[in-house]
Chains A and B, each alone.
Chain A
Amino acid sequence: MISVLRGLGRAGLGFFERLGRGHVFLFYSLLGVPAGLYRIHLLLTQVYMAGVLSLVIIVVSGFFVGMVLGLQGYNTLVDFGAEESLGILVALSLVRELGPVVAALLFAGRAGSALTAEIGLMKTTEQLAAMEMMAVDPLKRVVAPRLLAGVLAMPLLAAIFSAVGVYGGYFVGVGLLGVDEGAFWAQMQSSVDFHDDIMNGVIKSFVFGFTVTWIAVFEGYDTVPTSEGISRATTRTVVNSSLAVLGLDFVLTALMFD
C-alpha cells in the first residue's frame, strides 16, 4: 500500500516537474522568437518543413473527410427532404470542428513527430551541445523558428483542410447524389458566419498549432539521448499532443459556442 502511494507520489512529482520544465523551456524559446523574425530564411525553411510537406496528407484527408460528410449528411437529410442543406452541414462541421481538429491530429502525426525526432537526434549526436559551445543558443537558433513555423502553418493547413473538405462534400453531394448546386452553395453562404464560425475555427487552429508544436519541440529537446529515448519521445509527442488537441477542443468549443 505504502509503495503504491509512494509510486503515485513520485509519478505526480515527475509530472509536475516536467510541466514546469516545459514552461521554462517555452519562456526561453519565446524570448528567441523576435530574433528569429529577423532571420526569415530559417523561418521559411521550417514553414516549408512543417507546412508544405504536410500538404499531401492534409489535402487527401480533407477530401475524404468531406466526401464522407457529404455521404452521411445526404443519407440523413434526405429522410427529411432537407438534402439542400447539405452545404451547411458539410461547411459548419468542417470549419467549426473537423478542420481544426483533424488537421491538428494529422499535423501532430506528420510534422510533430518529425520535429521531435529531428531535435532529439540533434541532441543525441551532440549537435545542440556543439551549438552551445559555439556560443549559439539552440533555443533561438533551432527551437524558436520551429515553434513559430508550427503556429503559422497550422491555421493555414486547417483552412486548406476545410476548403478541400467542402469540395469533397460538393463532389459527393452535388456531383454524385444530385443535390442542387445553387442550393448547396447559397445555403452555405447564408448560414456560415464569418466571425462565429470561420474565425472561431481559425482561433482553434492557432491554439492547436501552438500546443502541438510546443509539445513536439519540448519532447525533442528533453529527449533521453539514446535511440530508445528518441522513440519514446516521438510516441509521447503524438499521444500527448493528440490528447491535448481533443481536450482543448472541448474547452474552446464550450467557450465559443455556448
Chain B
Amino acid sequence: MDTNRGSEEPLVTIRGLSFSRGARKIFDEVDMDIARGKITAIMGPSGCGKTTLLSLIGGQLRPDAGSVRVDGLEVPQLSRRELLQLRKRMGMLFQSGALLTDLSVFENVAFPLREHTGLPVPIIRDLVLMKLEAVGLRGARDLMPSELSGGMARRVALARAIALDPMMIMYDEPFAGQDPISMGVLLRLIHLMNEAMGVTSIVVSHDVKETASIADYVYVLAEGKIVGQGTPEELKKSPSKWVRQFMDALPDGPVHFHYPAPAYMEDLLSGEDR
C-alpha cells in the first residue's frame, strides 16, 4: 500500500509499555518502533511475551502502563467501534491458523469481505480467488479446514489476513512446527507480501535463522525487556550475552536451563513426599 511508503514516522510506536499477568511481569517499560513497509521480527525464548505483544498492538489486551500507538492512534484509549475500524486495517496470522472450522477455504477467505465490504458476489469471488492464487491454494477452495495440512491452513489464514488489503500483518509464530518445504513457502510468502504490497510486517518467532533471513530489523525480548535490537547483521555481531545465547541457540546462559528450584542436594534429602 502506498500509504506505507515514503513516510518516516513508524507505523507502531510503543513507549514505556508495562504488562503483568498476576504477579508475573511480562513487559517492563518496553520501547519499540515498527517501521512502515518493513519486516520487523520480534524474537525471544518461549514464554517471553511475544504473542502477548501482538495482542497488545491489536487491542485485545490493555497494558498496565505505557502507550501503544498504531498509525497515530492510541490503541488502549480507542472505543470499541474505533478499535474495530482500526482492526480492519490490520491482518493477523494466528499460530494455529484459526480458520473458521464450519466454513470452506473459499468461505474463510471471503469472510472478512462479506462482513465488511458489501461487494457484489462476483467481485467477492474474484477477490477471493486472487488472494488464494497468491498463496498457491486456488485449487483448494472447496476443501474444509479439517482437510488441510498445518502449512496449508496457515497459507489460507494468510490469504484471509490480506483479504481487506491491510496496512500491516502480524504473524504469530508462522514457522512453528512446519516442515522445511512449508517453512520455505511461508518465508517466501511473507517476503512477497512485504515486497509486492508494501505491507508492514511484524513477525513473532523463535526460528532465528529463518526469521533473520527476511527481517529488516530485529528485537530480541527476554524477561520483559528488550535485550537486543538491530538489523540481523548487527545482531550477529552483538556482544550481549542474551543475544548470543539466543542467536547461537546455547542451552544455558542468561536464560537458565533449570527452572528456579531449591538446591539439588537439599531437595533430594528433604524427606518430603513430593
Question: Which secondary structure characterizes the binding site on chain A?
Answer: helix
A244 contacts partner chain B, Cβ-Cβ < 8 Å: no
Contacting pair B101 A133 (CB below 8 A): no
Number of A-B contacts (CB under 8 A): 48
A127 contacts partner chain B, Cβ-Cβ < 8 Å: yes
Contacting pair A137 B84 (CB below 8 A): yes
A193 contacts partner chain B, Cβ-Cβ < 8 Å: no
Interface string of B56-69 (1 = CB under 8 A from A): 00101000000000
Contacting pair B96 A126 (CB below 8 A): yes
Contacting pair A134 B94 (CB below 8 A): no
Task: Specify which of B84, B88, B98, B99 lies most central, judged by the most chain A CB atoms within 10 Å of its CB.
Answer: B98
Smallest distance from the beta carbon of A113 to chain B beta carbons, Å? Answer: 18
Contacting pair B84 A129 (CB below 8 A): no
Smallest distance from the beta carbon of B164 to chain A beta carbons, Å? Answer: 8
List residues of chain B with CB within 8 A of the CB of A129: 60, 94, 98
Chain A residue at smallest Cβ distance from B80? A137
List residues of chain A with CB within 8 A of the CB of B85: 135
Contacting pair A126 B116 (CB below 8 A): no
Chain B residue at smallest Cβ distance from A124? B96
A125 contacts partner chain B, Cβ-Cβ < 8 Å: yes
From A130, A135, A137, contact of B98 by CB (8 A): A130
B115 contacts partner chain A, Cβ-Cβ < 8 Å: yes
Cα of A136 to Cα of B164 in the assembled complex, Å: 13
A132 contacts partner chain B, Cβ-Cβ < 8 Å: yes
List residues of chain A with CB within 8 A of the CB of B111: 134, 136
Chain A residue at smallest Cβ distance from B108? A130
List residues of chain B with CB within 8 A of the CB of A126: 94-96, 98
List residues of chain A with CB within 8 A of the CB of B58: 133
Contacting pair B116 A133 (CB below 8 A): no
Interface string of B71-95 (1 = CB under 8 A from A): 0000000000000110110111011
Known: A135-B85, A136-B115, A137-B84. A130 touches B92 (CB 8 A): yes
Contacting pair A133 B87 (CB below 8 A): yes
List residues of chain A with CB within 8 A of the CB of B45: none
Cα of A131 to Cα of B92 in the assembled complex, Å: 10
From B60, B95, B101, B115, contact of A134 by CB (8 A): B115
Chain A residue at smallest Cβ distance from B83? A135
Known: A125-B96, A127-B98, A129-B98. A135 touches B60 (CB 8 A): no
List residues of chain A with CB within 8 A of the CB of B136: none
Contacting pair A125 B101 (CB below 8 A): yes
From A122, A127, A134, contact of B112 by CB (8 A): A134
List residues of chain A with CB within 8 A of the CB of B84: 135, 137
Smallest distance from the beta carbon of A134 to chain B beta carbons, Å? Answer: 5
Cα of A134 to Cα of B101 in the assembled complex, Å: 16
Question: Could you list 20 A-B pairs, sorted by A, with CB under 8 Å?
Answer: A122-B101, A125-B96, A125-B98, A125-B101, A126-B96, A127-B98, A127-B101, A129-B60, A130-B92, A130-B99, A132-B60, A132-B87, A133-B90, A133-B91, A133-B92, A134-B88, A134-B115, A135-B84, A135-B85, A136-B111
Known: A125-B101, A135-B116. 15 other contacts (CB 8 A): A125-B96, A125-B98, A126-B94, A127-B101, A130-B98, A132-B60, A132-B87, A133-B60, A133-B90, A134-B88, A134-B111, A134-B160, A135-B84, A135-B85, A136-B115
